[in-house]
Structure 1
Amino acid sequence: MLTRKHSIEGRQPLKQAADLFAGLTPDAALNLAMLAGDILLVLDDQGRIIDSSVNKDNLSDLASLAGQDWLSTVTTESRPKVMEMLAAARKGEVQHWRQVNHLTREGDIPVKYVVLSLENDDRHLAFGRDLRDQAKLQQRLLQVQQSLERDYLNLRQLETRYRKLFDQSSEAVLIVEAVSGQVREANPAAHALLCAKAGSLAGKKLSGLFARDARDAVTAHLGAALAAGHAGSIDVPPAKGKEEVSLHASGFLQHGAKHLLIRLEPKHGEKADAPSLRDVVERMPDAFVIADEDMHIVEANMAFVELVEAAGVEQVVGARLGDFLGRPGIDLDLIQAQIDKDGAARNVSSFVRPRGQDDGEPVELSAVASEGPNAMFGFVIRPIARRMRELPPGPQDMPRSVDQLTDMVGRMSLKDIVRESTDLIERLCIEAALSYTADNRASAAEILGLSRQSLYSKLRRHNIGNLPPEGD
């Protein structure tokens, strides 16, 4: 934004200005005026352009401004600025640089202007500087900033996934700094296996976690893992507990420093039972829900709990699935109807939201129902927001990200962007409603909250359904 620092107010004048400019010839004054900006306009007291000087190679569309009203050559949003500059010029006030946009056949051209009044003359000089290069630079800076923000968000998401996997793993895992031998991180399974209090292993020496007579063997094994990148396993007794554990070590670099990944397994204890179906469902990356015939949630995995932003499974079990999934009274009814007809619902588009909220995350779900009395429904729910962001924009696609919207800036006016986006959203919503209702237009109008006459009018406007024009 332009401020007073862009004007001559408060600037130190030349000490020898009178001697320097006293003998200034018209040609020298013309050259000085032309060098002061990319555009030079000579205006009368009413704002009409008497004469103009521009660089025809870069601003050819502005080469024929003479004889026009300055207001008629700029956009509607820029006219108040032009009027303010002209009013200040008539009063002889100190001018400040103001940005206006000129209308041309190739689009708007941003120009920064300042108006200088001539003494004892009703004419004024408007000096303009082309801002297109600066606008392109700002656009690139915005794109880089958005890219950095996306990368940072991706890193945060990866860190969250790593932390969750690390904490929930049933295998005891420790991260050890190679030089000092100190434990940097240990998951809950490692604390349980080594009979340590939660969070107490960080900062301790790894060798101190094992019996005294086994510490030399542990140190030698870690050295071999660092040298070769990985090593086999050794059986060592822990400092607490009677059963030996099998220690596996492998080396890796993090921020230029060597670290060790230590995995511990019980040696003589019974092997854990094979994962049950419940354990497999719990570890699924996609949300999984079982609901009764009244669509109350009976079981749900942690992926679903996270998707609806609940504090735990107990907050969703017993609740109505419709409180979290789709539009109340619409999506689940359509899914049940599809299951009754085909035996299953596949790849149905909907959205999942936290309880009490209207907006949610787009998902794709499949569902089946058990046979017999007291039927149960199973849902597999997969978020599709990331996949939608990665789709290449088609000619009719709505912009799905901030950077796609900003790419349109400069090529289209804000009014055109908003109008096209609104029309496209309206068309997509109508097509989605028709798809949900199997082309039942009465049901689609009810879903959209429209009268049937309004829906038919919009169908004709968007050329959907091959309806005859009104009046035929």
Structure 2
Amino acid sequence: MDDLVSRTAAGDFTRAKDFFQGLAPERTAKIVASAADVTLVIDAQGIIRDAAFGVEALFNSGGRSWAGRPLTETVTIECEDKVELLLSEARAGGAMRSREINHSLPHGEDMPVRYSAAQLGDDGSVIVFGQDISRIAVLQQKLMNAQLSMERDFAKLRAGELRYRMMFQLSDVAQLVVEAEGLTVADINAAAARVLGEDTAAAKDKTLAKLFDTDDSALLENVLRATVDEDREHDIAIHLRDGNALTLTATPFRQERRTYLLIHLMARGDTSSSGHFALDRQVMDIVEQMPDAFVLTTPDRKVLATNAAFLDLLNIDSVRDTEGTIFDHWFERPGVDCNVLIANVEEHGIVRRFATMLRSRFGRVESVELAATRIPHRDTYVLGFIIRPLAAPAGTSMGEETALTRSNEQITNLVGHMPLKDIVRETTHMIEQLCIETALDLTKGNRVSAARMLGLSRQSLYAKLARDSENE
């Protein structure tokens, strides 16, 4: 909500003397008081000389004692400058400007009031009109709480997406999704691509029959058409182009008013349950349809798998160009950011909202936000990463929130003990200390890496550390 609004009359009274000249002072005062929730008469020194209240909460919480006190004493410290501007602009005779000002109440809460002011006399006195906006503030707080709740729910959804992406990439079940109308491949997972000897991207949009032996094409098409018409699962023995025999299971399903076939490929004699690969199908559908980039690596950061969004993000032509490469290769600062990220994953098991920069195949630098996790797999583990281009400054981690809360408490304790400009100077020093501590913590005490992360020279960082040590 804006705290400054210009207000100019679209049209003034043309016969003011005819109607207002004979008004008695008491009647004039009642009219003026009824036009606002709070009406104050301020003298040239900024002292409240008289007041009328239409809001009982403000009157009962200290408003009755305002007369004879400076207006600045009744407001919170950050609003004192707003009061001075409000009064000075009114005395200058310019357009009325509304400003949102918070009053300090005895029980500790603040009451927000939107004030406008006008010159009352040639002696510098000013009349101030206030509108209680506490209800609006309550609505704003509710809106903020709802937004925070949505963000928490979205974070849970993102964590669920990450788990499903892991499951899909680790699945050994070969699966395809085929459009029923043209029997073309709409989607394929890595296991199916290996079985068929196809590149994942190249296999999409191909007619399914072209992926198998031509002698089986007619039979395959007839079985798939029957699956759609009868709306039930069918099996068929089929051969690959290299002659290897498979069992193909087709299951129909509908999505967005279109019919698709879920194709499950098994070696002859494989008794994998259809229920099991139906779960994998859900995993595959989530992974392939979501827009965020995904990378799966070994513990030593060798890339095992990526998705199309990752290829698009870094301008990579084919998934084969990423397989076997080291994930660090794509970082703008691999010696710092990647090591810090992996160290935190190793320590905590999961990292969220890690801000860094990646470099594309053509050298373009992309600011991104990563979520990473460590997933046990057989007798070792794999590392999974979800990558999202940054559209806004990244938030703080849980550790940073704790540090910021601590700094906020320190800043709050300074209020009332020193002037505002001194608090601002002290706050700047606190923030600088917090950034240095965080960088050292992320780099496990490596001052060279910390200086690079902060954009400082080593000498500058050492000087700041020495200064802080002397102050302690």
- What TM-score results when the alignment is normalised by the length of structure 1? 0.56
> 1:67, CA displacement in angstroms?
0.4
Matching residue of 1:279 = none
Match of 1:135 among 137, 150, 154: 137
Structure 1 residues 35, 104: closer, same or farther in 2, change over 3 A? same
- CA deviations over 1:175-221 (Å, ceiling 9, x no partner): 23456654321234434544656534434555676611332222223
Matching residue of 1:218 = 224
> 1:78, CA displacement in angstroms?
2.0
> 1:66, CA displacement in angstroms?
0.5
Q: How do residues 238-387 of structure 1 correspond to structure 2 at under 5 angstroms?
A: 240-252=241-253, 254-255=255-256, 258-267=259-268, 288-289=299-300, 314-315=325-326
Q: Say whether 1:90 aligns with 2:91.
A: yes
- CA deviations over 1:370-425 (Å, ceiling 9, x no partner): xxxxxxxx999999xxxxx999x9xx96578xxx999xxx9x98979x79x98x97
- CA deviations over 1:107-151 (Å, ceiling 9, x no partner): 433222111222566532111122322223223333444554565
Q: Do the aligned partners of 1:244 and 1:268 also contact (CA within 8 Å) in 2?
A: no
In 2, Cα distance between equivalents of 1:201 and 1:312: 18
In 2, Cα distance between equivalents of 1:315 and 1:52: 73
In 2, Cα distance between equivalents of 1:202 and 1:233: 22
Q: Say whether 1:62 aligns with 2:63.
A: yes
In 1, Cα distance between equivalents of 2:403 and 2:257: 44
Q: How do residues 72-221 of structure 1 correspond to structure 2 at under 5 angstroms?
A: 72-105=73-106, 106-119=108-121, 122-148=124-150, 166=168, 169-178=171-180, 181-194=183-196, 198-204=200-206, 206=208, 211-221=217-227
* Structure 2 residue runs without a partner (length 5+): 273-294, 315-321, 359-368, 375-379, 386-395, 446-460
Fraction of identical pairs, as percent: 25
Where relative contact order (Cα < 8 A, 6+ residues apart) is larger, the structure is 2
In 2, Cα distance between equivalents of 1:127 and 1:111: 10
In 2, Cα distance between equivalents of 1:144 and 1:451: 42
In 1, Cα distance between equivalents of 2:48 and 2:328: 75
Q: Do the aligned partners of 2:296 and 2:303 also contact (CA within 8 Å) in 1?
A: no
- CA deviations over 1:46-95 (Å, ceiling 9, x no partner): 21100112223355233321000112222333222222222222232222
Structure 1 residues 169, 46: closer, same or farther in 2, change over 3 A? same
Say which SS state the counterpart of residue 242 (structure 1) adopts. coil
Higher fraction of helix: 2
Say which SS state the counterpart of residue 96 (structure 1) adopts. strand
In 2, Cα distance between equivalents of 1:198 and 1:364: 25
Say which SS state the counterpart of residue 184 (structure 1) adopts. strand
Q: How do residues 363-442 of structure 1 correspond to structure 2 at under 5 angstroms?
A: none
Q: Do the aligned partners of 1:48 and 1:69 also contact (CA within 8 Å) in 2?
A: yes
In 1, Cα distance between equivalents of 2:326 and 2:187: 31
Q: How do residues 28-67 of structure 1 correspond to structure 2 at under 5 angstroms?
A: 28-54=27-53, 55-59=55-59, 60-67=61-68
Q: Which amino acid aligns with 2:101?
A: V
Greater Rg over alpha carbons, structure: 1
* Structure 1 residue runs without a partner (length 5+): 272-283, 290-298, 333-345, 366-377, 384-388, 437-447, 459-472
Structure 1 residues 157, 64: closer, same or farther in 2, change over 3 A? same
Tell me which moved more, 125-134 or 163-172.
163-172
- CA deviations over 1:243-298 (Å, ceiling 9, x no partner): 343122345554565543222234389x9xxxxxxxxxxxx989735xxxxxxxxx
Q: Do the aligned partners of 1:56 and 1:63 also contact (CA within 8 Å) in 2?
A: no
Say which SS state the counterpart of residue 244 (structure 2) adopts. coil
Structure 1 residues 288, 261: closer, same or farther in 2, change over 3 A? same
Structure 1 residues 19, 201: closer, same or farther in 2, change over 3 A? farther
Matching residue of 1:13 = 12
Matching residue of 1:369 = none
In 2, Cα distance between equivalents of 1:265 and 1:325: 39
Q: Do the aligned partners of 2:296 and 2:382 also contact (CA within 8 Å) in 1?
A: no
Q: How do residues 437-448 of structure 1 correspond to structure 2 at under 5 angstroms?
A: none
State the Cα RMSD in Å. 6.1
